[in-house]
Amino acid sequence: MPKRSRLGQLAGLVAAGLVVCAPVAQAVEIQAPAPVIAQAAAVHEVPRQAPPGPVLDPAETDKANSQETKNKIIAGVAAAILLGLVILGRRARSKKKKS
């Protein structure tokens, strides 16, 4: 396979990007929403106050935080175990390679 110049590689990447992005662009054009016709507001309408924000229950917040902390600890332990396996595997492979 002959070596391609950087310009040729760049052109290939741009072409591949266009191929990948073309269906997305077409889908966006197809799914455009229909225009909404705004209705005129009544002349004497009184503006309403916005409803208050959500009410947070401290018990549910604490429960969600503890569950999130538990999930992070589990993920950290799993990552540490996997790292240990990788280190042990590399060490075993280097010992086998030396002998």
What share of residues in the chain are helix, strand, coil (percent, to 5)? 65, 0, 35
Q: Name the residue ranges covered by the structural domains of the chain.
A: 64-99
Q: What is the structure's pLDDT at 6?
A: 66
Q: Environment class of residue 56 by beta-carbon count within 10 Å: exposed (0-12), middle (13-18) or buried (19+)?
A: exposed
Evaluate if pTM is beyond 0.95.
Answer: no
For every one of its 99 residues, what pLDDT tens digit does the chain have, with 9 covering 90 and above? 455 566 666 666 666 666 665 665 555 555 555 555 655 555 566 677 877 888 878 888 899 999 999 999 999 999 999 999 999 999 999 999 887
Q: What is the structure's pLDDT at 1?
A: 45
Q: What is the structure's pLDDT at 52?
A: 82
> Using CA atoms, how far apart are residues 56 and 43, in angstroms rounded to an integer?
38
Identity of the amino acid at 46: V
